[in-house]
Every structure is written in C-alpha cells, then in structure tokens.
C-alpha cells in the first residue's frame, strides 16, 4: 500500500464528499501560491498541518513519511537562489538571495502540506469517477480508473520479484543489479498486459459494451463544511493583507 492511499482510507474525513475536501485543500493551495509567501504561506501551511493532524486525524508519521522526499527536492532546488553567476568573481554567494530562497522554501512547504491535506483524506477511487463532471471525457476517466486499479497489483508484483531476486543474490554487484532491475521492468510489462487481457476476457464474458460502469457512492455535501472552508480562506486572505499593509 502507498502511505498516502492507506492514510486516505483511514482518515476521519474518508466519507466526506471529495468536492468539499477539494474546495478546502485546493482553495488553500491556490491561496498559498497567490498570496505573498510572508505571511500568507505561513498561515496556509499552519492551517493545512493543523487540519491534517486535528480534525482529519491523519497521523504525524504518515505526514512525515510522505513529505520527506519532496522536502529534499525543495531544499536542493533553492540552493541556486543563494548564488549569483556571471559577475566578478564568476560564482559568488549572494546574501540578497537568502530572502527569495527562504520565501520559495516556505511557499513550497506550505503548498506541499495543502496537497497532502487533499491526498491523505481523499481516496482516488472517489475522485476519478467524478472527474467527468469537470469536463474530462469518460474514456479518459475510465482509463485512469484502470491505471489506478492495476498499479497496486503491479507494485505488489515488483515487490515480490525484488524479494525473490534479493534472495538469489540478485543485487550483489552492479552487473547483477541492472540485470535484476531489467527483470523487474520486463515483468511489469508482461504482467500489465496479461492483466489487461484477462480483464478484457472477463468483461467480454459479462457483456461488455464499451462502457465501464462503476458505482459511485452518493455522499451528501455538507453546507457547514463548505461555509467553514470559505470563512477560513477569507480569513487567511484578510489577515495576510492586513499584515502586509501594516
């Protein structure tokens, strides 16, 4: 299981309408990116983290497991902002770059937390079949649904193949490692197409007419949640503008 997907099914907001959670977390995300990072990103990041750990009940361990790899990229990507090139000397530390680098890191961390707020509370199985309401063609959402269903089986296959290779000393040298990795790649290809063929046969036997109908559980939209979201977003915008003007 992927940490975010497992978290989404275990979260307390699991049964809320995906639209509510999208409004809240993607609203926060848009506000984070659009407002000046100081103090807008700080407010949004704190709000997202508090919502994650508080009402949504996503464990701190899951949040840390999910954010630590993107954090590395965020920090590495900010390093070029600290140096200036092309002057004399050609490469020099630029003290003026500290502020934009800090703003960039702050905004990116806040945005990451907003993304995690959505991803760790909303299973994709609830989102994908509803995407056609946003104008995505049904054929595309159906393909995305098949990708979602197949990828967990394939990830499990890779895990099993990797374990079998490790037991047979498949990762002892660079040479064997590459051979083993190629084996994993080829195994996923063969299994993905084999699964697709079997699905094809199974569907044909059940009268497949070109449409994959999936039952989507009806979830009512909570007006209180939507209202609270709008108040929170408006509050953050107003507070940020107040601090910036002061």
Partner 1 sequence: MHIAEGYLPPLHAAAWTVAAAPFVVHGARAVVRRVREDPDSKLLLGAAGAFSFVLSALKIPSVTGSCSHPTGTGLGAVLFRPPVMALLGTIVLFFQAVLLAHGGLTTLGANVFSMAIVGPWVAYGVYRLTRKAGGGLGLGVFLAAALGDLATYCVTSVQLGLAFPDPVSGTGGAVVKFLSIFAVTQIPLAISEGLLTVLIVRLLVRVSPDDLARLGIRTRTSEEVAA
Residues 75-93: b if buried by 16+ CB within 10 A, e if exposed: eeebeebeebeeeeeeeee
Residue 239 as a binder of partner 1 (CB under 8 A): the answer is no
Please work out, in degrees rounded to the nearest 5, the angle formed at the alpha carbon of residue 172 by the alpha carbons of 163 and 187.
Answer: 40
Residue 53 as a binder of partner 1 (CB under 8 A): the answer is no
Q: List binders of partner 1 among 187-216 (CB under 8 A).
A: 188-190, 192-193, 195-197, 199-200, 203, 208-210, 212
Residue 38 as a binder of partner 1 (CB under 8 A): the answer is no
Of 145, 176, 219, 239, the residue at the interface with partner 1 (CB under 8 A) is 145
What does the alpha-carbon distance between residue 80 and residue 83 come to, in Å, rounded to a whole number? 6
Q: List binders of partner 1 among 74-133 (CB under 8 A).
A: 74, 76-77, 79-81, 83-87, 94, 96-97, 100, 104, 107-112, 114-116, 118-119, 122, 124, 127
* DSSP 8-state assignment for residue 222: P
- Residues in contact with partner 1, counted by CB under 8 A, come to a total of 86
What does the alpha-carbon distance between residue 85 and residue 244 come to, in Å, rounded to a whole number? 31
CA 239 to centroid of chain Cα atoms: 28
Beta bridge partners of 84: 92
**Contact region for partner 1 (CB under 8 A) — 11-19, 49-57, 178-186, 221-229?**
178-186
Q: Could you tell me the smallest distance in angstroms from the CB atom of residue 54 to partner 1?
A: 20
Residue 9 as a binder of partner 1 (CB under 8 A): the answer is no
């Amino acid at each position: 299981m992927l940490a975010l997907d497992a978290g989404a099914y275990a979260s307390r907001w699991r049964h809320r309408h995906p639209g509510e959670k999208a409004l809240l977390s993607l609203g926060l995300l848009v506000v984070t990116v659009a407002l000046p990072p100081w103090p807008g990103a700080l407010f949004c990041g704190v709000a997202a983290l508090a919502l994650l750990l508080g009402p949504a009940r996503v464990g701190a361990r899951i949040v840390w497991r999910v954010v630590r790899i993107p954090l590395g990229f965020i920090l590495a990507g900010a390093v070029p902002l600290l140096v200036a090139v092309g002057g004399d000397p050609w490469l020099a530390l630029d003290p003026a770059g500290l502020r934009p680098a800090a703003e960039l890191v702050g905004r990116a961390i806040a945005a990451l937390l907003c993304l995690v707020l959505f991803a760790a509370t909303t299973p994709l199985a609830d989102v994908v079949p509803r995407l056609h309401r946003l104008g995505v063609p049904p054929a595309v959402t159906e393909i995305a649904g098949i990708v979602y269903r197949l990828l967990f089986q394939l990830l499990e296959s890779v895990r099993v193949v990797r374990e079998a290779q490790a037991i047979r000393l498949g990762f002892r040298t660079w040479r064997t490692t590459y051979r083993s990795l190629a084996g994993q790649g080829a195994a996923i290809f063969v299994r993905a197409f084999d699964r697709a063929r079997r699905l094809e046969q199974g569907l044909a036997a059940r009268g497949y007419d070109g449409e994959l109908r999936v039952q989507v559980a009806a979830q009512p939209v909570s007006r209180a949640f939507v209202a609270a979201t709008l108040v929170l977003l408006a509050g953050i915008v107003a507070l940020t503008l107040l601090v910036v003007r002061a």
